[in-house]
Copies of this chain bind each other. A is one copy, B any other.
Amino acid sequence: MDFETTAVYGVLTTAILGLLYALLLIMQIKKYDEGTEKMRKINRAIFEGAQAYLKRQIKSILIPVAFLAIALYYTAIAADPSIAIGRALAFLMGSTFSASVGYIGMTMAVKGNVRVASAARRSFDEALKIAYRTGTITGMLTDGLGLLGGTIIFIIYGPEKAFEVLLGFGFGGSLIALFMRVGGGIYTKAADVGADMVGKVEAGIPEDDPRNPAVIADLVGDNVGDCAGMAADIFESYEVSIVAAMILGLIAYPGSVKGVIFPLVVRAIGVLSSIVGTYAVSVSGGTHDAMKAIKRGYNLSASISIVSFFLLSYFYMGELAPFFATLSGIILAVLINYQTEYFTSAKYGPVKEIAKSSLTGAATTLLSGLAVGYEATVVAVLLIAGTIVAAGAIFGASYAMVAYGIALAGIGFLTLTGNNVAMDSFGPIADNAGGIGEMADLEPEARKILADLDSVGNTTKAVTKGIAIGSAVLAAISLFNSYFEVTHLAALPLQDPIVFVGVLIGGGIPFLFSAIAIRAVGRGAFQMINEVRRQFREHPEILEGKMEPDYARPVEISTFAAQKELLTLGTIAILTPIIVGFALKEYALGGFLAGAIVSGQLLAVFMAIAGGAWDNAKKYIEDGAYGGKGSEPHKASVIGDTVGDPLKDTAGPALNPMLKVINLITLLVAPTILLYKNDLTVSILVVVVSLIILSIAVWYSRREAELKTS
Within 8 A of B (CB), among A653-710: 702, 705-706, 708-710
A594 within 8 A of B: yes
> Is B193 a contact partner of A363 (Cβ separation < 8 A)?
yes
A460 within 8 A of B: no
A195 to chain B, nearest CB (A): 13
Chain B residues closer than 8 Å to A366, beta-carbon distance: 366, 639, 643
A388 within 8 A of B: yes
A50 within 8 A of B: no
A480 within 8 A of B: yes
Within 8 A of B (CB), among A478-501: 480-481, 483-484, 489, 491-501
Pick the contact of A495: B367, B501, B507, B590 (CB < 8 A): B590
Chain B residues closer than 8 Å to A647, beta-carbon distance: 370
Chain B residues closer than 8 Å to A705, beta-carbon distance: 349, 353
Within 8 A of B (CB), among A188-220: 193, 197, 201
Pick the contact of A353: B364, B514, B709 (CB < 8 A): B709
Q: Tell whether A496 pairs with B646 under 8 Å between CB atoms, given A363-B197, A371-B519.
A: no
> Is B515 a contact partner of A367 (Cβ separation < 8 A)?
no
Interface centre among A477, A484, A514, A639 (most CB of B within 10 A): A639
A360 within 8 A of B: yes
Q: Tell whether A708 pairs with B381 under 8 Å between CB atoms, given A495-B491, A496-B399, A519-B371.
A: no
A361 within 8 A of B: yes
A505 within 8 A of B: yes
A362 within 8 A of B: yes
Chain B residues closer than 8 Å to A602, beta-carbon distance: 507-508, 511, 599
Chain B residues closer than 8 Å to A642, beta-carbon distance: 361, 363
Within 8 A of B (CB), among A88-107: none
> Is A495 a contact partner of B349 (Cβ separation < 8 A)?
no
A162 within 8 A of B: no
A357 within 8 A of B: yes
In the complex, which residue of chain B has the Cβ closest to the Cβ of A505?
B385
Pick the contact of A492: B402, B494, B599 (CB < 8 A): B494
Chain B residues closer than 8 Å to A599, beta-carbon distance: 507, 598-599, 602
Within 8 A of B (CB), among A122-165: none
Tell me, in angstroms, the Cα distance from A515 to B503 when the chains sit together. 24
Pick the contact of A360: B374, B526, B591 (CB < 8 A): B526
> Is B639 a contact partner of A501 (Cβ separation < 8 A)?
no
A71 within 8 A of B: no
> Is B639 a contact partner of A385 (Cβ separation < 8 A)?
no
A384 within 8 A of B: yes
Within 8 A of B (CB), among A386-407: 388-389, 392, 399, 402-403, 406
Chain B residues closer than 8 Å to A483, beta-carbon distance: 495
Chain B residues closer than 8 Å to A399, beta-carbon distance: 495-497
Chain B residues closer than 8 Å to A452, beta-carbon distance: none
Tell me, in angstroms, the Cα distance from A512 to B494 when the chains sit together. 24
Map CB proximity to B onto A344-379 as digits: 1 under 8 Å, 0 otherwise. 000001001100110011111011101111110110
In the complex, which residue of chain B has the Cβ closest to the Cβ of A387?
B501
A602 to chain B, nearest CB (A): 6
Tell me, in angstroms, the Cα distance from A356 to B601 when the chains sit together. 31
Q: Tell whether A515 pairs with B375 under 8 Å between CB atoms, given A498-B389, A501-B388.
A: yes
Tell me, in angstroms, the Cα distance from A591 to B526 when the chains sit together. 43
Q: Tell whether A493 pairs with B495 under 8 Å between CB atoms, given A374-B518, A382-B508.
A: no
A329 within 8 A of B: no
Q: Tell whether A403 pairs with B484 under 8 Å between CB atoms, given A526-B360, A602-B507.
A: no
Q: Tell whether A371 pairs with B525 under 8 Å between CB atoms, given A366-B366, A590-B495, A598-B599.
A: no
Chain B residues closer than 8 Å to A388, beta-carbon distance: 497, 500-501, 504
Chain B residues closer than 8 Å to A521, beta-carbon distance: 367
A584 within 8 A of B: yes
A residues whose Cβ falls under 8 Å from a Cβ of B: 193, 197, 201, 349, 352-353, 356-357, 360-364, 366-368, 370-375, 377-378, 381-382, 384-385, 388-389, 392, 399, 402-403, 406, 477, 480-481, 483-484, 489, 491-501, 503-505, 507-509, 511-512, 514-516, 518-519, 521-522, 525-526, 529, 584, 590-591, 594-595, 598-599, 601-602, 606, 639, 642-643, 646-647, 702, 705-706, 708-710
